[in-house]
A and B are shown apart, each in its own frame.
Chain A
Amino acid sequence: MSVEAAPRTFRPSLSGHSPLTVLAYIIVTVALVVAVAGPWLITQDPLMFSADVNMPPGNGHILGTDDAGQDVYSRLVVGTGLSLFYGASAALVALVIGSVIALLAMALGRPTEIALFAFIDLIRALPGILFALACIVAFEPGVGSVVLALGVSFAPNFALITRATYLQQMAQPYTSAAKVLGAGRLRIALVHVLPNIAGALITQFAMILPRCIVSESVLSFLGLGVSPETPTWGRMIASATSYIEEAPHAALAPIIALSLVTFALAIVGNSIRKRFNVSRKSVTL
């Protein structure tokens, strides 16, 4: 991977992007606006129950109502913010845990490196969802444990890319120069190498983010995510699938939102990867 060849000029122009990428950026922008402006966009309290259950779209409910008579549109708007926030938090936890621990372990020497990556092999041998499930049940279901469990199960991706890029950077002349000038291993790792592998880590973050959002939805769908008062998309899908015959719109709205946003984020992640000139193979999925 050629991280050192990261382009220095940052041009926020749309030229040179495929229509698909432009569309993806537009979807992500809209989702972010909805997430931030959510409280002003809703038409009623997303948690308010009513007797009008499973109503099709219309009659004052733009997207109808769900099995508890709650307004699907308002829940979807609030859910956009929640899903993006929890997904981003989980990806951030994975980034921090994975890269910092890997960097420290690499800097401290061979024994810590071997110990850490043996542990990572262990996590990677378990199917991701199963690992997250076990963690969540162990810490009691809830927002914090979902974010933590997803963070830990995606941390190995960051640790592996950190190791690969760290080794490449240590072969560069500038790290030898720092060593000759008397910089310690930790200083070289954190002050010299970290800024140079940031591009690869940001790329990995962008690739992991949509997967965290989907995983949160899957966990909520399986009944182990957030509580029903927190209408993330997965939570909405979970309660709507029991009434899928009566009110398919209540499941369709969040699943389309989820699909559109994860689709757009994946395309955006790919375009970020190209911007930082990270080869596709070096990004672990």
Chain B
Amino acid sequence: MNPHLLRLLGSIGLDILRSLAIALGIIIFTFFVIRMIPGDVVDVRGVEGSLTYSQQTSMREDLGLNQPWLTQFGEWSGMILSGDLGESSRYNRPIVDLLAIVLPSTLMLGATALAIGLIFGISLPTLACLFPRSIFVGIVEFITIWSITMPTFSIGIMSVIVFAVWLDWIPAIGNFLVPAIILGVDTTGSLAKMLYEDMKDVESSEYVRAARAKGLSRSRIILRHVLPNALSVTIALIGMMLAGIFTGALTMEVVFGLPGLGTMTLQAIQGRDYPVVQAIIIWLGLAVIFANLMTEIIRKLVDPRLRTS
């Protein structure tokens, strides 16, 4: 077998093993952290006055909450591994159904933000490098400072006050476009910042000087040599950015009153609905791990230098 291919496969195999270990860690960690929360769903329902004492006892038995932790963990991890997310103990409905209701809205928000981020986050730094004396350099610098200094949370609330209360352009509850743009601009900023700096670094490297000495045009150097090399570094951070986009989406949903995964997470935490909280944390964690693994594999496929370790 070709030694290069062997090394590539070995390196990817190690990545997969590492991701599996982290995934297992998240499953164990989530279960025990959530079980440390004082009070359970039955307590919350009891306080709300909707259950008698004997109903509470039988509900605990039905949900298995009176079993030892380790037994609960054993049964639960078996269930999770077989792909069953379980039931919400508050609404007595399968979590899959609940997710199916809220997920599209959150995915739309996240995907729109990511799309805005990718389109402008890649094109703006490229334009700034192609035309170093143009307004694009200023735009990149501005949007970089903006995303570092202006948290989406502050911008979100200010937008509600300005656009919904004062100008009455958007409804105060349930607007989709404004939070998507806020998150998109934020993503653009962090992406543009990294890419622009990487492109500047690559531009001063020796092989770019060699390409220039060969007489290649400036635009060809930047589009064919600088951009792909700088992108390979930036791609690695997209997995991490997904976690940030979700965090932003969670806050934006609550600020703008959008029904979605963020709102559901908050309600589940406040209502002590363990199975839902667990399912959300685990599936988000797994999604981030998977995204990181994919970006790592893609980078190794396109960039042979990374295959060694």
Contact = CB atoms under 8 A, between A and B. Distances in A.
Contact of A130 (B154, B197, B240, B247): B247
B161 A133 contact: no
B190 to A, nearest CB: 7
A119 interface: yes
Interface string B151-163: 1011001101100
Interface in A118-148: 118-119, 121-122, 124-130, 133-135, 137-140
A8 B222 CA distance: 38
B26 A122 contact: yes
A224 B18 CA distance: 33
B150 interface: yes
Nearest to A213: B151
Contact of A134 (B33, B172, B243, B254): B33
Contact of B22 (A118, A134, A255): A118
B59 interface: no
B154 A255 contact: yes
Range for the number of chain B residues in contact with chain A: 35 or more
Nearest to B272: A137
B16 to A, nearest CB: 14
What is the predominant secondary structure among interface residues of chain A facing chain B? helix
B21 interface: yes
Contacts of B190: 285
A270 B284 CA distance: 32
Interface stretch (B77-85, B90-98, B262-270): B262-270
Contacts, number: 127
Interface stretch (B65-73, B119-127, B178-186, B285-293): B285-293
Interface stretch (B34-42, B47-55, B130-138, B208-216): B34-42
Contacts of B250: 127, 129-130
B150 A222 contact: no
A258 B154 CA distance: 7
B238 interface: no
Given A125-B288, A134-B33, A270-B148, A244 B172 contact: yes
Contacts of B112: none
Contacts of B284: 126-127, 130
Interface string A217-251: 11001111000000000000100010011001001
B166 interface: yes
A262 B289 contact: no
A100 interface: no
Nearest to B190: A285
A28 to B, nearest CB: 13
Nearest to A130: B281
B10 interface: no
B285 A252 contact: no
B37 A138 contact: yes
B288 A127 contact: yes
Contacts of A255: 154, 157-158, 161
Contact of A237 (B37, B157, B240, B280): B157
B29 interface: yes
Nearest to B250: A129
A275 interface: no
A216 to B, nearest CB: 11
Nearest to A211: B151
A266 B189 CA distance: 14
B26 A262 contact: no
Contacts of A128: 243-244, 247
B302 interface: no
A249 to B, nearest CB: 9
B164 to A, nearest CB: 8
B29 A122 contact: yes
Given A138-B33, A140-B38, A248 B25 contact: no
A126 B33 CA distance: 13
B154 A262 contact: yes
Given A138-B36, A237-B157, A281 B149 contact: no
Contact of B150 (A126, A245, A259): A259
Contact of B254 (A124, A137, A221, A245): A221
Interface of B: 18, 21-22, 25-26, 29-30, 33-34, 36-38, 145, 148-151, 153-154, 157-158, 160-161, 164-166, 172, 190, 194, 197, 240, 243-244, 246-247, 250-251, 254-255, 265-266, 269-270, 277, 280-281, 284-285, 288-289, 292
Given A134-B33, A255-B158, A262-B149, 19 more contacts: A124-B243, A125-B285, A126-B281, A128-B244, A129-B250, A130-B247, A130-B250, A130-B280, A133-B266, A210-B149, A214-B154, A221-B254, A244-B160, A248-B165, A255-B161, A256-B158, A259-B158, A262-B150, A285-B148
Interface of A: 118-119, 121-122, 124-130, 133-135, 137-140, 210-211, 214, 217-218, 221-224, 237, 241, 244-245, 248, 251-252, 255-256, 258-259, 262-263, 266-267, 270, 280-281, 285
